[in-house]
């Protein structure tokens, strides 16, 4: 009898123990699910805040381009023209169903991106000066061409995250353009003229720009190429920069000892220019932000001339004197430019890499010119063999002005900067608050 009672007590104890363990495991499982859901919603809020930053970055770029940020900061500062936004004060506002109806805590500031639903969450974004400004982030006076975008994200359960990014304009180039004319690839054809005087200058804006600032007239990528081009220079053409003339105005941009690399110039070419695939990507990025994309053989109406105008030609393009103007001209085929045509800004012939200046005239080019053949064996840009030929993907580029005329080609930093297209705003610093 005693043994039966002991067995029963043991059985009851085991049942109680197993029940207790089951309940504990159940609570543990529910707690893990709850913690996992909380973590998931927190991550959702974080990614929503990131989405706010990215949408705001694109919106600001489309609105501002390469302009100053002062007017944008003033607009978003609200009626009092003072930026009141404080990331520690901003909070989401929920209705009775748990949906976000807006955000509060930024006084009369105008959000760069208003409350926007994405899936089951919401985001918004605000514009302030960056903390590096001497006047502080509350000022609407931008002095360093940088601003800060704050993205806020909220989920249904009250999860709320803030991320901030400092952004600045980002040109597509990996570095400055350190020559009046820059040519890539082996054995480029640089043909000037044999019977009529032309002038090529590397002194900034022909000596009227930044005092003492100069670049080589022609910049190449290796010493052997430099020798080939120097041997073909015409005696009737003037090449000058920083007091140097003739062959010393042609330089190997990769050689610090080259006599054409002067102290007052931009110096050597920046790393990245010699990457053919990067140059092709750069070309496609500029296509995406161009004011107009012209197709070969199709009539194309150009937008009004302006220093920041971007004209992109997919294929051959002819620029006659009636189209004289300014901006960035980017051509993937052959660019044929009439001898009487003037252009202030950038001329970039990357693709099939052929620049031809034809006919008589006294046309002037002020800014910089880049020529590169990356089209591969089929000599057609945009096909599968791009960057597959020549040396490191570059074939022989052509810059031919041998048809006559007494034109002037001058490096001008101000024209280069004004015409350099922007493909995005770069994030220079990022943090989660």
Average pLDDT per 10 consecutive residues for the chain, totaling 433 residues? 62 69 63 52 88 94 84 90 88 88 91 93 93 68 90 89 93 91 92 76 93 91 88 77 79 89 82 93 94 94 94 96 95 95 97 92 95 95 94 94 84 95 89 89
Q: From the centroid of its chain, how far is CA 258? A: 31
Strands of the sheet containing 354-358, edge to edge, are 189-191, 398-400, 354-358, 334-338, 317-319
Q: Are 297 and 279 in contact (CB under 8 A)?
A: no
Q: What are the Cα distances from residue 89, in Å, to 103, 152, 318, 378?
A: 10, 12, 57, 61
Q: Is 247 within 8 Å of 233 (Cβ atoms)?
A: yes
Residue 270 neighbours by CB under 8 Å, 6+ apart:
173, 174, 175, 176
The predicted pLDDT at position 115 comes to 95
Amino acid 403: pLDDT? 76
CA 191 vs. chain centroid, Å, equals: 32
Rounded to 5°, the CA angle 186-187-188 comes to: 100
* Whether the Cβ atoms of residue 253 and residue 268 lie closer than 8 Å to each other: yes
Total length of the chain: 433
Alpha carbon distance 424, 397 (integer Å): 28
The terminus-to-terminus CA distance of the chain in angstroms comes to 70
Residue 337 backbone dihedrals phi, psi, to 5 degrees: -120, 125
166: nearest Cα among 136, 209, 130: 130
Please name which of 308, 254, 265 lies closest in space to residue 176, comparing C-alpha atoms.
265
Q: How far apart are CA 311 and CA 290, in angstroms?
A: 6
Q: Spell out the residues 6+ positions from residue 54 whose beta carbon is closer than 8 angstroms to its own.
A: 151
Handedness of CA 409, 413, 415, 416 (dihedral sign): positive
Handedness of CA 173, 178, 182, 188 (dihedral sign): negative
Instruction: Give kind and range of the element (H or E) at residue 238.
Output: strand 238-241
Q: Are 242 and 249 in contact (CB under 8 A)?
A: no
User: For the whole prediction, is pTM greater than 0.75?
Assistant: yes
């Amino acid at each position: 009898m005693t043994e039966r009672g002991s067995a029963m007590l043991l059985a009851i104890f085991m049942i109680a123990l197993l029940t207790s363990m089951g309940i504990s495991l159940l609570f543990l499982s529910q707690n893990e699910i709850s913690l996992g859901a909380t973590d998931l919603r927190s991550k959702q809020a974080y990614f929503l805040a990131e989405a706010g930053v990215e949408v705001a970055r694109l919106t600001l770029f489309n609105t501002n381009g390469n302009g100053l940020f002062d007017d944008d900061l003033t607009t978003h500062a609200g009626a009092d023209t003072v930026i009141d936004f404080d990331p520690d004060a901003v909070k989401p506002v929920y209705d009775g169903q748990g949906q976000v109806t807006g955000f509060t805590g930024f006084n009369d500031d105008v959000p760069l991106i208003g409350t926007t639903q994405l899936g089951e969450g919401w985001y918004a974004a605000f514009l302030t000066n960056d903390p590096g400004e001497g006047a502080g982030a509350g000022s609407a006076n931008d002095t360093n061409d940088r601003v800060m975008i704050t993205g806020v994200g909220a989920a249904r359960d009250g999860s709320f995250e803030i991320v901030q990014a400092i952004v600045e304009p980002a040109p597509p180039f990996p570095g400055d353009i350190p020559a009046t004319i820059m040519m890539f690839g082996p054995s480029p054809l640089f043909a000037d003229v044999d019977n009529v005087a032309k002038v090529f200058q590397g002194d900034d804006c022909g000596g009227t720009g930044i005092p003492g600032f100069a670049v080589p007239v022609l910049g190449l990528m290796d010493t052997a190429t430099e020798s080939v081009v120097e041997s073909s220079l015409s005696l009737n053409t003037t090449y000058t920069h920083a007091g140097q003339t003739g062959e010393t105005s042609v330089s190997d941009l990769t050689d610090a000892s080259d006599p054409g690399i002067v102290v007052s110039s931009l110096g050597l070419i920046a790393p990245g220019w010699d990457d053919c695939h990067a140059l092709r990507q750069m070309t496609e990025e500029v296509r995406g932000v161009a004011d107009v994309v012209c197709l070969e053989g199709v009539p194309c109406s150009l937008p009004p001339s302006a220093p920041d105008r971007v004209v992109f030609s997919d294929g051959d393009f002819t620029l006659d004197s009636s189209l004289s103007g300014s901006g960035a001209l980017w051509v993937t085929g052959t660019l044929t430019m009439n001898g009487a045509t003037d252009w202030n800004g950038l001329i970039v012939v990357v693709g099939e890499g052929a620049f031809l200046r034809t006919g008589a005239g006294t046309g002037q080019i002020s800014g910089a010119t880049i020529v590169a053949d990356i089209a591969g064996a089929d000599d057609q840009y945009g096909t599968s063999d791009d960057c597959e030929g020549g040396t490191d993907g570059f074939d022989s580029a052509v810059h031919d002005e041998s048809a006559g005329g007494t034109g002037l080609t001058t490096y001008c930093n101000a024209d280069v900067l004004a015409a350099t297209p922007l493909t995005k705003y770069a994030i220079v610093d990022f943090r989660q608050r």
